[in-house]
Amino acid sequence: MLKPRGAICNLDCGYCYFLTKEALYPGSDFRMSAESLETFTRQYIEAQSVPEATFGWQGGEPMLIGLDFFRLAVELQEKHRPANMTVHNALQTNGTLISEEWCEFFRANNFLVGISLDGPRALHDAYRVDKSGAPSFDRVMAGLELLKKHGVSFNVLTTVHSANADHPAEVYRFLRDDVDARYIQFIPIVERKNDTGFQEGHSVTDRSVKARQYGEFLTAVFDEWVRRDVGTVFVQIFDVALNSWSGERPGLCIFDETCGGALAMEHNGDVYSCDHYVEPRYLLGNVGEMPLLEIVDSEKQRVFGLAKRDTLPRYCRECEVRFACNGGCPKNRIIKTPCGEPGLNYLCEGYKIFFEHIDGPMRFMANELASRRPPANIMRRMRLEDEAHLEQEFARAGRNDPCPCGSGRKFKNCHGG
Ligand code: SF4
Ligand code: SF4
């Protein structure tokens, strides 16, 4: 992951963990030089063992570096890639700086653009504001419309926090129906309460989602998705779970047994263990001074990645959903297990709720996949189950009870009639 403007951003989202990182480089102009860009591009392409390379652009706000920088990035990729190599670019943005010109560039160069959007206006604007405190919703939606107009591939990254966590259906339906998003990520906000911005301390801010809330949010979205959107809307955590239920690796570091393959490079070429650990203790080296491959392969990074598995508390090791959860991201392992062992994930309660809830449908979908049938068959099965359940409820309902169909009318005036 590359951060061409480091932590610099034109917004000032309440929960953003990047902005405090400015303090790491006092006096810096936070602009990746053409030299660092070329060094990285050449080494990154050379390091691939398959004829494919994906460049992940992040911030802060990466678009703040300007279009010419990205034109150069694409030129350098062309210059250094072997003839048989395909290069992909994925850029994560707050969406407020997108213009016709940017869209033409994205489309011409097949960029995949990730837009940060937390739901409908009020839920999005709860925390996603600019430096003057002004809301960003209209600017993000305008950017999205431009992407759609130009046929640019996009996905949506929605953070789940204290303001939107109790509105799963509203958020999901907005993304699906109003934004027309087909690829969605739900990322929990777990923000440590401290002044350093580092992964220190054991308490979290009020903006953070509560563990149970996150589990119930995912569960509610899943219940809607599994009945009508399988195969047409792709929610990252559901896809990842299906991999786990199919006996595959999840494909997302958070739920993998070990991690360490998601390094981040700052604007000046400094490489860190992970984007969540851009802090002095996790600095591995600088691409200007050390070959990238050596940095990635270093003992320090190996230890970082293995620690995800090796520090797992016994409570996780004996957990029934460990195969899908693997204790989650180490950055959130800040609470104690019921036995008092440290290192349990803050989101544990939510993960348990979610993974236990989806077990039945996931088993079914994994079996369909293994039998070379579409997992979308789950929707028919859910419908039959729901109908059978409703029949039972109708049989039990009294004349004056609310109708089990959920219409809000009395049974005798609805299905009972
Ligand atoms: S620390 Fe968390 S986000 Fe970073 S690589 Fe490990 S699991 Fe992934
Ligand atoms: S659900 Fe909780 S106990 Fe189970 S593996 Fe995940 S974090 Fe550990």
- Position 199 scores a pLDDT of 79
Ligand 2: which of 323, 331, 352, 355 to mutate, judged by most atoms within 8 Å of the beta carbon? 352
What number does the ligand 1 atom closest to the CA of 252 have?
8
Ligand 1: which of 18, 259, 272, 304 to mutate, judged by most atoms within 8 Å of the beta carbon? 259
| Nearest in space to 118 (alpha carbons), one of 58, 178, 161 | 161
**Ligand 1: distance of its center to the CA of 403 in Å?**
47
Q: Is the CB of 69 under 6 A from ligand 2?
A: no
Closest ligand to residue 345's CA: 2
The H or E element spanning position 138 is: helix 137-149
- Position 196 scores a pLDDT of 74
Protein residue with its CA nearest to atom 8 in ligand 2: 316
- The pTM of the full predicted model, rounded to 2 decimals, is 0.94
Query: Which residues, including other chains, have CB under 8 Å from residue 45's CB and lie 6 or more apart?
Result: 53, 77, 80, 81, 82, 85, 87
Q: Is the CB of 353 under 6 A from ligand 2?
A: no
**Ligand 1: distance of its center to the CA of 227 in Å?**
31
What number does the ligand 2 atom closest to the CA of 313 have?
8
Tokens of 130: 């600019």
Sign of the CA dihedral 289, 294, 295, 298? negative
Tokens of 211: 């563990």
Neighbours of 388 (CB within 10 A): 9
Specify which residues 115 forms β-bridges with.
Answer: 93, 156
Q: Is the CB of 352 under 6 A from ligand 2?
A: yes
Per the CB < 8 A criterion, the answer to whether 235 and 221 are in contact is yes
| Nearest in space to 91 (alpha carbons), one of 2, 189, 188, 182 | 2
Sign of the CA dihedral 193, 196, 197, 199? negative
Question: DSSP assignment, residue 130?
Answer: B
Specify which residues 2 forms β-bridges with.
Answer: 57, 265
First-to-last C-alpha distance (Å) of the chain: 61
Residue 105, SS3 per DSSP:
helix
Pocket (CB within 6 angstroms of ligand 1): 253-254, 259, 262, 274, 276, 308, 329-331
Q: Are strands 283-286 and 270-272 parallel, antiparallel or unpaired?
A: antiparallel
| Nearest in space to 9 (alpha carbons), one of 119, 123, 112, 136 | 136
Per the CB < 8 A criterion, the answer to whether 231 and 374 are in contact is yes
Q: Is the CB of 319 under 6 A from ligand 2?
A: yes
Per the CB < 8 A criterion, the answer to whether 156 and 183 are in contact is yes
Q: Is 166 a catalytic residue?
A: no
pLDDT tens for residues 351-409? 999 999 999 999 999 999 999 999 999 999 999 999 999 999 999 999 999 999 989 99
Report the C-alpha gap between 242 and 363 in whole angstroms. 8
Query: Which residues, including other chains, have CB under 8 Å from residue 52's CB and lie 6 or more apart?
Result: 85, 86, 87, 88
Q: Are strands 335-336 and 342-344 parallel, antiparallel or unpaired?
A: antiparallel
- Position 18 scores a pLDDT of 63
Specify which residues 186 forms β-bridges with.
Answer: 158
| Nearest in space to 277 (alpha carbons), one of 288, 267, 268, 266 | 266
Active-site residue identified among 118, 166, 275, 401? 275
**Ligand 2: distance of its center to the CA of 149 in Å?**
43
* CB-count burial class (<10 Å; 0-12, 13-18, 19+) for 196: exposed
| Nearest in space to 345 (alpha carbons), one of 358, 335, 356, 355 | 335
Residue 168, SS3 per DSSP:
helix
The string of DSSP letters for 213-271 reads HHHHHHHHHHHHHHHHTTTTSEEHHHHHHHHHHTTS--SSGGGSSS-----EE-TTSEE
| Nearest in space to 99 (alpha carbons), one of 152, 49, 46, 47 | 152
Radius of gyration of the chain (CA): 23
Protein residue with its CA nearest to atom 1 in ligand 2: 352
Per the CB < 8 A criterion, the answer to whether 32 and 55 are in contact is no
- Position 20 scores a pLDDT of 66
Neighbours of 254 (CB within 10 A): 22
Closest ligand to residue 272's CA: 1
Report the C-alpha gap between 351 and 327 in whole angstroms. 9
Q: Which of the residues in the chain have pLDDT under 70?
A: 17-21
Closest ligand to residue 312's CA: 2
Report the C-alpha gap between 399 and 7 in whole angstroms. 62
Q: Is the CB of 347 under 6 A from ligand 2?
A: no
Protein residue with its CA nearest to atom 2 in ligand 1: 329
Protein residue with its CA nearest to atom 2 in ligand 2: 348
| Nearest in space to 107 (alpha carbons), one of 75, 54, 60, 154 | 154
